Amino acid sequence: MNNLISHIRINDFNSPNTYNRYQYNVQALEPFDALKVVLEQAIYLKYISMASISEESISYLQRKIMSDITALKDLKTYSTLSSLNSLFEIGKKIALYITSNPYEKLEFLDFTPNDLIAIFNTPNQKEYLNQEYTSTMTENFLTQFISYFLGYFNKDQYPDGILHQCAIYIPNLVLIENYDPRLNAFENAKNKEVIVSLTGKLVKEYDLNMTAPMKPCIHCYLRSFNLNDLSIDDYIGILASFSLSHDKYVMTASVTGPDYRIPDACFDLVTGSSFVRGQSTGEVQFKDKEAFFESINLMVEQNKLQKIEDNGLFGALLTILGEKPDLVNFFTKPVTSIASIEALTYRQSEYTKITNDRIIASMEAIDDTEAPEENEGTEEPEDDASNEIEEGEDDTNLDDTSLEDPSLDPTSAEDEEEDKKPPLDPKMMLLELANPTQSMSDYIYREMVARRISYIIKNPPENALPNDILMLKRWKSRWLYLASIACLRDFLSRVSIRLSDI
């Protein structure tokens, strides 16, 4: 069995050609039907050249297609239609041109996109009975190919420049039986070949105005799709399918070492394999890393893709890409264990636009769970606040009466002068980050302060200054778990609202 790819097809289960037992033999077809197969193979080759695939596999497919082009019979001895003869000759030239330039940007020579459309719109010249493979090209795929690689689409048919209800054609390696009608079933069962099967994944729309750069790549192509019902987690799964060469002998044949791309890292991530990590002896360089992050940043910004949902998955991807441990830890560690240096590294990284800040999200979640507790029952707000104190804590640690009108506090007259504090000026504060290895008592103190701030924000005292309420909100969402305990105490001492006696 040959481990190299034999041919490529579009997988359509409404056609008998999609089953894994058929005869791939262009010489068994009528010349024009054979031309359609050869031309589609050239187009499919161009498509998968954007994936992570070895040069040896591409070269092997090139040689096979060139051989099939040479073997095409002269149509003139079979057809008297001059228009069909003309399309036949044009089709051979296009197939030769595309096959010779799989990595380069395509340009119009002596053919037009309408020639391609006309060739594939021509019905098969006969009905085949021996499971012969015929063209699997679809209108959807051809429309995307012509718009992306040749910069053309029918503006009358697509006035808004959008192809609606389209599909991403995701490649998969499939083992098929190349059927030979001259052999018996036992001999045919041994005649196996590896092919690439392109399976359509339905998506909302495709932007026909997007065209390929000088060096087409899979990231630029996928940017043309609107995937706003998918997240980056799903996008990683799609990219993993575009990693097609996993033979270590092929990948290490290069003098300079393995040529890895982002789809290879996604393949490891999705399948749990060691394709990248297992074969690399040093730091792996991904030549398309910048293009990958540029694409997903743009797609998230344009609402074509949702942010990452599984932080652990993204952290594992960053590990494979060789990111700093502090950054990886921010995504993989429990939120209560994230150190200040790790949170700071994340906020200074390029990933803040495509992910959610885990610490802020955690604080918002705490607020959401606390709200029903504060509103339940018929007790007074003072009792609700006192019930929020950790079990076993002394109630005197936090003075609930200080949250109400100062006139209700019996000691307010004595402390009136002491309570008149100057307006809070953050610029005069010395900001100190927390120790990465804080104690449990520090953590409990922060939690207690967070709950009291939540209560104050939802039930502000009448004498509360708007600036202080604003600063409490900002500290709770941004600095409460990053600043040191000493810095937090200093901040609380400057707020005119008394939160605690600590």
Instruction: Give tens-digit pLDDT for 23-55.
Output: 999 989 999 999 999 999 999 999 999 999 988
**Lowest-pLDDT range, 25-34, 121-130, 257-266, 296-305?**
257-266
- Predicted confidence at residue 190, as pLDDT, reads 83
Could you tell me what percent of the chain has a pLDDT over 90? 40
Where does residue 404 fall: left (phi above 0), alpha (psi -120 to 50 degrees), or beta otherwise? beta
Q: Which two tokens stand for residue 291?
A: 């293009």
Q: Are 347 and 357 in contact (CB under 8 A)?
A: yes
How far is Cα 263 from Cα 222, in angstroms, rounded to an integer?
12
Where does residue 392 fall: left (phi above 0), alpha (psi -120 to 50 degrees), or beta otherwise? left
How far is Cα 253 from Cα 391, in angstroms, rounded to an integer?
65
Q: How many helices and strands in the chain, by DSSP H and E?
A: 20, 6
Q: Per-residue pLDDT for 388 more than 70?
A: no
Between 293 and 215, the higher pLDDT residue: 293
Helix (H) or strand (E) holding 292: helix 289-301
**pLDDT classification of 78: cutoffs 50, 70, 90:** low
Q: Are 115 and 94 in contact (CB under 8 A)?
A: yes
Between 163 and 487, the higher pLDDT residue: 163
Task: Give the residue among 148, 188, 160, 161 at the shortest CA–CA distance from 23.
Answer: 188
Contacting residues for 391 by C-beta, under 8 A, at least 6 apart: none
Which residue ranges make up each domain of the chain? 2-201, 241-356, 360-494
Quick one: average pLDDT of 163-182?
Answer: 90
Q: Per-residue pLDDT for 76 more than 80?
A: no
Could you tell me what percent of the chain has a pLDDT over 70? 76
Quick one: average pLDDT of 241-257?
Answer: 59
- For 235-244, give one letter per residue: b (16+ CB within 10 A) or e: bbbbbbbbbb
**Lowest-pLDDT range, 19-23, 397-401, 436-440?**
397-401
- Predicted confidence at residue 14, as pLDDT, reads 57
Using the structure block, give the residue that is written with the tokens 């996604």: 266
Strand partners, 195: 174
- Predicted confidence at residue 481, as pLDDT, reads 78
Q: Per-residue pLDDT for 94 more than 90?
A: yes
- Predicted confidence at residue 274, as pLDDT, reads 80
Between 250 and 345, the higher pLDDT residue: 345
0.75 cut: is pTM over it? no
Q: Per-residue pLDDT for 142 more than 80?
A: yes
Quick one: average pLDDT of 71-92?
Answer: 77
Quick one: average pLDDT of 99-108?
Answer: 86
- Predicted confidence at residue 473, as pLDDT, reads 83
Quick one: average pLDDT of 176-199?
Answer: 87
- Predicted confidence at residue 64, as pLDDT, reads 94
- What pLDDT digit, counting tens, does each position of 445-496 carry? 888 888 888 888 888 887 777 777 888 888 888 778 778 888 888 777 777 7
Between 333 and 381, the higher pLDDT residue: 333
Q: How far is CA 72 from CA 60, 83, 94, 128, in A?
A: 19, 18, 14, 18
Q: How far is CA 249 from CA 54, 245, 267, in A?
A: 11, 10, 18
Average pLDDT across the chain, whole number: 80
Most confident by average pLDDT, 45-49, 102-106, 177-181, 453-457? 45-49
Quick one: average pLDDT of 163-169?
Answer: 93
Q: Per-residue pLDDT for 68 more than 80?
A: yes
Q: Per-residue pLDDT for 124 more than 50?
A: yes
Q: Per-residue pLDDT for 285 more than 50?
A: yes
